[in-house]
């Protein structure tokens, strides 16, 4: 071997050795990489699992809190309806208002946990834009006016009549920023202006107020969760600091964003920019005229829930819940049957028929869904609406219930207004008593007879008024006529010479 070949050979050996070492290093790196990625997956799984556990915990906690709240709110509603004492009525109304606040906090926490764990779904549907703005006006105007604020709602005439998007989330976003504007404004007023960009197919909801405003340095923190500004100054204003965080995240999930402009001490404008596709481009027109008409119609036609011929089956394992619903429906004269389990519900349905079934979800033994499957499978109540009663108030849950075959759902704590709305929707109209029927019944119900003997027409009128509708007054001029009447009739009282003055 020549010296040059020898050097080459040596270099080759070194290279081979180095190559081997490199290969080993590479292998080690790849192992490390594998390890890192396994660790990452493991951590991700742990994060996902932890998030899932948190969401489950929150959903369960919300259920656990909502069940006793159902009893508190329900029983409180009965006190409100039954008490004649203004002081007690005020206490009960305060309980109602505090319960509503507590519920909205629970809902916010649940919403946030669902957003964070990626379980919040945006569910787009086709909807009438006017009905959304109408509901928003109904839900916000009174609060502003009661606080002595001006309230303006400007809806551009060219907004498409039908849009495509998550109508429920749009309402939630609008309500949140409008309620904030009312909350953080003491003088002046609020203005909501809604416009639509046809090229971008995007809705702009701008809510301006003449309220406390926000310091420029605070603008960045505004959307953080649990962040409330100027805590000392605002300590009397109820809130958790979750609303704007939820609002921002929901807007972004829909492909939009939030804009805030504010001058400290002067007021703020929060604008939600939300893409919404046009379904029917015909312009919504003069919305304020529409609103006036809708309000007048609502005043005119107020359906009444009195249905002595209607039969309802309520299924819940919690006896207090059954008592609450039965109590709430007391004045409706609806025939109520209660069942404490799925099995009992099925027994009832084999023995009789009902106009509506209210079916609790979480029951030991057969769950609501399993009970529904038996009802439908055995064709026990083919045309009967079955309403899910549910304590998990997660918005979006409603779609699951509809998918499971329920006709509708009612969330606990059951508010009388919601119960009434659902029953008016699903009880056949022919079973509902109309205002005329109730009036006729009232006028013709047997009342104690009061015989009034007096010859002064003015005094007779006074007595008539005094007796009201609780008595049937018979009016005669003198003793002779009175005796004649008394011979042929049973009379409860006789008022002579004008009676008490
Ligand atoms: P909160 O439940 O406290 O109202 P939000 O998340 O809705 O929570 O708002 C966060 C904070 O932003 C509020 O605590 C308040 O300090 C401030 N804020 C929100 N809206 C307004 C507004 N219109 N004007 C002034 N400050 C506001």
Question: Per residue in 343-357, pLDDT tens?
Answer: 999 999 999 999 999
Main-chain dihedrals φ then ψ at residue 196, nearest 5 degrees: -140, 130
Ligand 1 center–CA 234 separation, angstroms = 9
Q: Angle at the Cα of 239 (from 134 to 411), degrees rounded to 5?
A: 55
Torsion sign over Cα 156, 162, 165, 170: positive
Closest-CA residue, ligand 1 atom 2, reads 239
Say yes or no: CB of residue 211 within 6 Å of ligand 1: yes
Distance CA 433, CA 442 (A): 12
At residue 500, the pLDDT reads 47
**Average of per-residue pLDDT across 421-441:** 89
Say yes or no: CB of residue 234 within 6 Å of ligand 1: yes
Closest-CA residue, ligand 1 atom 20, reads 180
On whether the CB atoms of residues 51 and 117 are closer than 8 A, the answer is yes
Ligand 1 center–CA 330 separation, angstroms = 41
At residue 123, the pLDDT reads 85
Say yes or no: CB of residue 371 within 6 Å of ligand 1: no
Closest-CA residue, ligand 1 atom 17, reads 229
Say yes or no: CB of residue 153 within 6 Å of ligand 1: no
Closest-CA residue, ligand 1 atom 14, reads 228
Q: What is the pLDDT of residues 432-441, one digit of tens each?
A: 988 888 888 8
Eight-state DSSP code of residue 258: E
**Average of per-residue pLDDT across 310-327:** 91
Say yes or no: CB of residue 276 within 6 Å of ligand 1: no
pTM value? 0.69
Say yes or no: CB of residue 209 within 6 Å of ligand 1: yes
Q: Which residue, 267, 263, 227, is CA-closest to 243?
A: 227
Give the nearest ligand 1 atom to 181 CA: 23
pLDDT-based confidence at 393, cuts 50/70/90? low
Distance CA 316, CA 326 (A): 12
Say yes or no: CB of residue 244 within 6 Å of ligand 1: yes
Say yes or no: CB of residue 196 within 6 Å of ligand 1: no
Say yes or no: CB of residue 241 within 6 Å of ligand 1: yes
Give the nearest ligand 1 atom to 212 CA: 25
Give the nearest ligand 1 atom to 242 CA: 6
Q: Residue 165's beta-bridge partner residues?
A: 125
**DSSP of 317-339, one letter per residue?**
S-HHHHHHHHHHTGGGT-EEEEE
pLDDT-based confidence at 213, cuts 50/70/90? very high
| Edge-to-edge order in the sheet of strand 160-165 | 125-128, 160-165, 277-283
Ligand 1 center–CA 229 separation, angstroms = 7
pLDDT at 237 over 80: no
Closest-CA residue, ligand 1 atom 16, reads 229
Say yes or no: CB of residue 104 within 6 Å of ligand 1: no
Closest-CA residue, ligand 1 atom 7, reads 243
Say yes or no: CB of residue 195 within 6 Å of ligand 1: no
Say yes or no: CB of residue 62 within 6 Å of ligand 1: no
At residue 397, the pLDDT reads 62
On whether the CB atoms of residues 499 and 457 are closer than 8 A, the answer is no
Distance CA 51, CA 483 (A): 86
Main-chain dihedrals φ then ψ at residue 370, nearest 5 degrees: -65, -40
For the chain, helix, strand, coil in percent to 5 are: 50, 20, 30
Q: Residue 141's beta-bridge partner residues?
A: none
**Average of per-residue pLDDT across 40-44:** 83
Pairing relation of β-strands 160-165 and 335-339? Answer: unpaired
Give the nearest ligand 1 atom to 245 CA: 6
Q: Which residue, 274, 261, 155, is CA-closest to 209?
A: 261
Give the nearest ligand 1 atom to 229 CA: 16
pLDDT at 233 over 60: yes
Query: What does pLDDT average to over the chain?
Result: 87
| Lowest-confidence pick of 185-194, 287-296, 373-382 | 287-296
On whether the CB atoms of residues 205 and 174 are closer than 8 A, the answer is yes
On whether the CB atoms of residues 269 and 261 are closer than 8 A, the answer is yes
Q: How far is CA 228 from the centre of its chain?
A: 24
Ligand 1 center–CA 166 separation, angstroms = 24
Closest-CA residue, ligand 1 atom 13, reads 228
Ligand 1 center–CA 130 separation, angstroms = 27
Q: What is the pLDDT of residues 450-498, one digit of tens each?
A: 888 888 888 888 888 887 777 888 888 888 888 988 888 888 888 887 5
Give the nearest ligand 1 atom to 176 CA: 7
Phi-psi region of 29 (alpha: psi -120 to 50; beta: other; left: phi over 0): alpha
Burial label for 204, CB within 10 Å (0-12, 13-18, 19+), is middle
At residue 478, the pLDDT reads 87
Say yes or no: CB of residue 96 within 6 Å of ligand 1: no
């Amino acid at each position: 071997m020549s010296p040059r070949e020898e050097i080459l050979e040596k270099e080759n050996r070194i290279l081979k050795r180095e190559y081997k070492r490199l290969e080993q290093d590479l292998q080690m790196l790849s192992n490390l990489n594998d390890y890192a990625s396994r660790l990452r997956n493991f951590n991700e799984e742990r994060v996902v699992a932890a998030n899932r556990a948190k969401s489950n915990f929150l959903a369960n906690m919300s259920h656990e809190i909502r069940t006793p709240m159902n009893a508190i709110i329900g029983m409180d509603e009965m006190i409100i309806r039954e008490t004649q004492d203004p002081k007690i009525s005020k206490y009960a109304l305060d309980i109602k208002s505090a319960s509503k606040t507590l519920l909205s906090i629970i809902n916010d926490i649940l919403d946030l946990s669902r957003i964070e764990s990626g379980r919040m779904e945006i569910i787009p549907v086709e909807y009438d834009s006017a009905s959304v703005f109408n509901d928003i006006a109904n839900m916000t105007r009174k609060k502003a006016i009661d606080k002595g604020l001006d309230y303006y709602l400007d809806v551009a005439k060219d907004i498409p009549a039908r849009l495509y998007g998550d109508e429920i989330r749009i309402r939630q976003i609008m309500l949140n920023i409008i309620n904030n504007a009312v909350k953080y404004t003491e003088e002046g007023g609020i203005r909501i202006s809604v416009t639509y960009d046809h090229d971008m197919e995007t809705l702009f909801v701008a809510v301006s107020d003449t309220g406390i405003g926000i310091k420029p340095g605070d603008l960045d923190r505004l959307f953080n969760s649990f962040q409330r500004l100027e805590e000392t100054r605002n300590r009397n204003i109820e809130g958790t600091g979750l609303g704007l965080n939820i609002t921002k995240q929901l807007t972004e999930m829909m492909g939009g964003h939030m804009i805030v402009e504010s001058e400290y001490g002067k007021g703020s404008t929060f604008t939600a920019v939300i893409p919404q596709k046009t379904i029917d481009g015909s312009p919504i027109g003069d919305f304020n005229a529409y609103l006036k008409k809708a309000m007048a119609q609502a005043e005119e036609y107020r359906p009444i829930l009195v249905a002595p011929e209607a039969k309802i089956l309520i299924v819940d394992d919690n006896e207090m819940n059954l008592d609450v619903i039965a109590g709430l429906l007391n004045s409706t004269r609806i025939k109520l049957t209660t069942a404490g389990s799925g099995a009992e519900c099925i027994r009832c349905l084999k023995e009789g028929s009902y106009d509506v079934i209210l079916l609790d979800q979480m029951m030991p033994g057969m769950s609501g869904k399993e009970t529904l499957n038996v009802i439908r499978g055995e064709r026990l109540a083919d045309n009967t609406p079955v309403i899910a009663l549910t304590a998990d108030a997660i918005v979006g849950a409603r779609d699951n219930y509809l998918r499971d075959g329920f006709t509708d759902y009612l969330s606990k704590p059951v508010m009388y207004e919601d119960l009434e709305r659902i029953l008016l929707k699903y009880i056949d109209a022919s079973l509902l008593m109309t205002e005329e029927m109730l009036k006729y019944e009232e006028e013709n119900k047997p009342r104690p007879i009061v015989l009034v003997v007096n010859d002064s027409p003015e005094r007779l009128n006074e007595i008539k008024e005094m007796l009201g509708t609780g008595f049937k007054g018979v009016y005669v001029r003198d003793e002779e006529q009175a005796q004649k009447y008394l011979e042929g009739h049973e009379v409860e009282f006789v008022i002579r010479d004008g009676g008490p003055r």
